[in-house]
Structure 1
Amino acid sequence: MVLISFMLFSMFFGAGNLIFPPFLGQSAGEQVWLSLAGFLLSAVGLPILGVVAIAKAGSFSALAKRVHPVFAWLFPLLIYVSIGPGLAIPRAGSLAFEMGMAPFLPATWSAQPWGLAVYSAVFFAVVFWLSLSPSKLVDRFGKLLTPTLLAIIVLIFAKSLLSPMGPSAQPVGPYAEHPAFQGFLDGYLTMDALAALVFGIVVANTLRAKGIEDKGRLSVYMISAGLGAGVLLGVIYVMLGMIGSASSFLGKADNGAQILTSVMGYLFGPSGKILLGVVFTVACLCVSIGLVTSCSQYFNSLLPRLSYRAWVSVLCLVSMAIANLGLTQILAVSVPILGAIYPVAIVLILLALADRVISARSFVYVTTVSLVALFGVIDLINATAGDHRWDTWLNALPLYAQGAGWVMPALLGGCAGMLLDFGRRSRGERREEQPS
């Protein structure tokens, strides 16, 4: 179970998770602990709840069927395409090049398209090889990749304690007024709850390969793995947040990658770039392997005519091709699309966890998911084709400016579903009272 928790942690912990906490730490300054508390609540809590929701429902498909059979086919497909070969896997490959290879190449080489092309070919060849045997993921992640990643991050944190950098600065922007709430929103934007829904199939299949077939035991072990991965995520986030908090004297940075680059140069000198490149490469590699494995297993169950190996090949080739578009282009497309999908996933997770109060047949699933999905589509159109023309109207929604405008549609959908449930129960009771 420790090794499976390591495996799940490394599948969650990508390069994005590496750069969010240092930026939060530097921006929050003296309020870093309050901001980290909010960050952990969403960045760790939501993924754990996602694993728990899948464990309780039995599978992602079973959970989605509570809304509608068509939704149960369409939404998982959309998530697997988006978080897999469409966006997340190519983004990881491109980011691994930007942070793990480009800094060590001559400027003329790194600027050429062939540099990224050669690197992505090698990167996805390694991903392909390590994804061919899902049953060996526990050994490869739990015994090799995850301990390597954890050891390097702990080394960086220990060095920062032995070589104190500087005091925390004054919090800036929203971190000064609402540090905990802003930290929560930062954690929400990591979007790891989507990954929790996707990785559930990998954890379940891994446990089945270890001989655990009983649904009850499978659920308990999945929840245990989620909690173990969550503890590891929380510890690493705190370390990175503290490093960012002490980095203010190095100058203001625009993102977490710049902060880590400055910190590594200060702590380790020229070798710091090499160490940081290794961290980014291992993190991106772990996430890519986890996503290729889970997406291949899903598509193999959807279209079994193509073998698992064939799907791994297809996904690696497609991801490699899209990765060559470059990180900037991938991020420009991925952010609005994932932003439209993510609220629906959160709503599904929360409803699944409230199964003692909200039954699987409740109208709440249909009304809540429908309104949140409608909001997501409108927001996506506004951010892309609409060129933000509807911002005036959408800003009227509470929390929209903070990236959580879906909360009000979700509450309205929940209330509407409860009213429909009440009406259905009332009609049923009247029928029972009528004489035969």
Structure 2
Amino acid sequence: MTLTARQRLVMTFTFFSMFFGAGNLIFPPFVGAQAGSAAMPAAIGFIVSAVGLPILGVLAVTFSGGFDGLAGRVSPRFSLWLGLAIILTIGPCFAIPRTATTSFEMMVAPFISDDPQSAPRWIVQLVYSLTFFALSFLFAQHPEKLSKVLGRFMGPLLLILIAVLFAACLVHGVGAAATPSGDYATGQLARGFLDGYQTMDLLAALYFGIVISANIRAQQVDDERQVQTETAYAGLGTGALLILIYGALSYVGVVSGAITAIDPSTDTGATVLTNLTSSIFGTAGTAFLGVVFVIACLNVCTGLICTCATYFHKRFPVIGGHAVSYRAWQVLFTVFSFVVSNAGLSLIIKVSVPVLSALYPMAIVLVLLALTHRVLGSKFSRVYFWTVLLVGIVAFGGCISSLLAVFGFEGVLPWLDAVLAMLPLQGDQLGWVTPAVLGVMVGVVDSLVRRR
């Protein structure tokens, strides 16, 4: 059995809703506002990284038999540890708490009164977070039925709201686009590519297929090959939607930057959107933007809770001789994320950036190796081990250097910084490219030697 066109559209909306959260809403306008008149190359770089890589990741994982099948080509133990690192990064340690905090800042914080007689801010945030995570927990009860919530209602509603925002920008017009500034003063294409990392969509793409596959099977599609094909269709449809949305939001950023200049060192994508909606819609614009953020963040939070709980339930069904259900993992991740969202998130955000810079290069090379498996990996199996090993050494070296700087110990390991600086493209945060090429070469030689 195959899905109908309508069912495929619902699956595409479900996939899109799981991807498109606060970061996806904030970063493209910030790119457009900084790049200004050079927004086109900046947006292209961002789209390649934030859309191209995740969709390639969906295809690579789908046709490799899941993430374990892909990462297991390096080694089963590597698959376990990398999987745990990715799940915890895109889940309770960073991405899930950020959904509640960001939506609170956009929807509720602007309307909190400074009156001493009013409820303190921390109480308001506590109540909001409790309500937010209660709804997410409710929506995530049955991951195989997620398409009924996200695909049929929340996803289309979010698209309509973004379309309204884009239409308002078209009516307003851009006028004279701002001069490129900040990180986008030069090298807009490369900078856009690097900023696409911040969406974390490539890491999420490696596991979102778990939930989408469950929803497809719930439509009475039993053949595993057909499930993979339908998942790929949903991934490609999601990619097309994301390209349109990111292009539209980049233009929104250009219009906002032309209306109100921003300071790239202190402002964020949220500032860019707030400036625009306040200028076009007035006070009502703040509430409108808040609704958009709440829907986007609620969608992603629900999808991430489903993904994390499903992964841990399948990986650790029994702990200490006791069965651990999907619901137990769901409760654990929801409660933990609720606590983190109300205490200590700022530190986790600072720590997460170096962690992402360590995980992303390994994820990229795994995806690229999977896509070239027939002509490379299947003939020279050791390329997986050597490529990921050399890339991982460089990536984690950079992660350690960045973490030391976050905690105020910058320069403690000068030799490490000196070695990393010797790598080509390290200044553009692409120092892992040369080790990746070297790893492929060493892997081919190692495979030939072992074969003989």
Q: TM-score by structure 2 length?
A: 0.90
Q: Which of 30, 44, 49 is residue 42 of structure 1 equivalent to?
A: 49
Q: Which residue of 2 aligns with 1:287?
A: 300
> How many Å separate the matches in 2 of 1:37 and 1:310?
42
Matched, 1:55 2:35: no
Q: Which residue of 2 aligns with 1:27?
A: 34
Q: Which residue of 1 aligns with 2:429?
A: 403
Matched, 1:342 2:342: no
> How many Å separate the matches in 1 of 2:433 and 2:119?
43
> How many Å separate the matches in 2 of 1:98 and 1:330?
17
Q: Which residue of 1 aligns with 2:4?
A: none
> How many Å separate the matches in 1 of 2:163 and 2:45?
23
Q: Which of 1, 10, 25 is residue 17 of structure 2 equivalent to?
A: 10
Which secondary structure does the structure 1 equivalent of 2:343 belong to? coil
Q: Which residue of 2 aligns with 1:250?
A: 260
- Deviation, 1:8, is 0.6
User: How many residue pairs were aligned?
Assistant: 426
For residues 309-339 of structure 1, the C-alpha deviation after alignment (integer angstroms, 9 at most, x for no partner) is: 1111111001111111254223112211222
| Stretch of structure 1 that moved more, 178-187 or 138-147 | 178-187
- Deviation, 1:196, is 0.2
Letter in 2 for 1:169: A
Q: Which of 209, 214, 225 is residue 218 of structure 2 equivalent to?
A: 209
Q: Which of 202, 206, 210 is residue 193 of structure 1 equivalent to?
A: 202
For residues 155-203 of structure 1, the C-alpha deviation after alignment (integer angstroms, 9 at most, x for no partner) is: 0111111122532122235545432222222223422100100201111
The answer to whether the Cα contact below 8 Å between 1:55 and 1:218 also exists between their aligned partners in 2 is no
- Deviation, 1:135, is 2.5
Which secondary structure does the structure 2 equivalent of 1:183 belong to? helix
Change (3 A) 1:396 1:359: closer
> How many Å separate the matches in 1 of 2:353 and 2:187?
24
Matched, 1:306 2:324: yes
Q: Which residue of 2 aligns with 1:82?
A: 89
The answer to whether the Cα contact below 8 Å between 2:112 and 2:121 also exists between their aligned partners in 1 is no
> How many Å separate the matches in 2 of 1:380 and 1:85?
20
> How many Å separate the matches in 1 of 2:377 and 2:87?
26
Letter in 2 for 1:204: S
Q: Return 5+ residue gaps in structure 2 as ranges.
A: 1-7, 318-322
- Deviation, 1:139, is 1.5
> How many Å separate the matches in 2 of 1:21 and 1:100?
20
Q: Which of 96, 112, 133 is residue 105 of structure 1 equivalent to?
A: 112
> How many Å separate the matches in 2 of 1:111 and 1:31?
43
> How many Å separate the matches in 2 of 1:129 and 1:336?
33
For residues 280-332 of structure 1, the C-alpha deviation after alignment (integer angstroms, 9 at most, x for no partner) is: 11111111111100111111112221111111111100111111125422311
Q: CA RMSD in A?
A: 1.8
> How many Å separate the matches in 1 of 2:386 and 2:222?
35
Change (3 A) 1:87 1:173: closer
Q: Which residue of 2 aligns with 1:116?
A: 125
Matched, 1:391 2:417: yes
Change (3 A) 1:48 1:186: same
- Deviation, 1:241, is 0.5
> How many Å separate the matches in 2 of 1:398 and 1:114?
50
- Deviation, 1:242, is 0.6
- Deviation, 1:239, is 0.7
Q: Which residue of 1 aligns with 2:248?
A: 239
Letter in 1 for 2:384: Y
- Deviation, 1:117, is 1.9
> How many Å separate the matches in 1 of 2:52 and 2:368?
11
> How many Å separate the matches in 2 of 1:405 and 1:332?
21
> How many Å separate the matches in 2 of 1:402 and 1:92?
29
Identity level (%): 44
Which secondary structure does the structure 1 equivalent of 2:73 belong to? coil
The answer to whether the Cα contact below 8 Å between 1:110 and 1:116 also exists between their aligned partners in 2 is no
Letter in 2 for 1:37: I
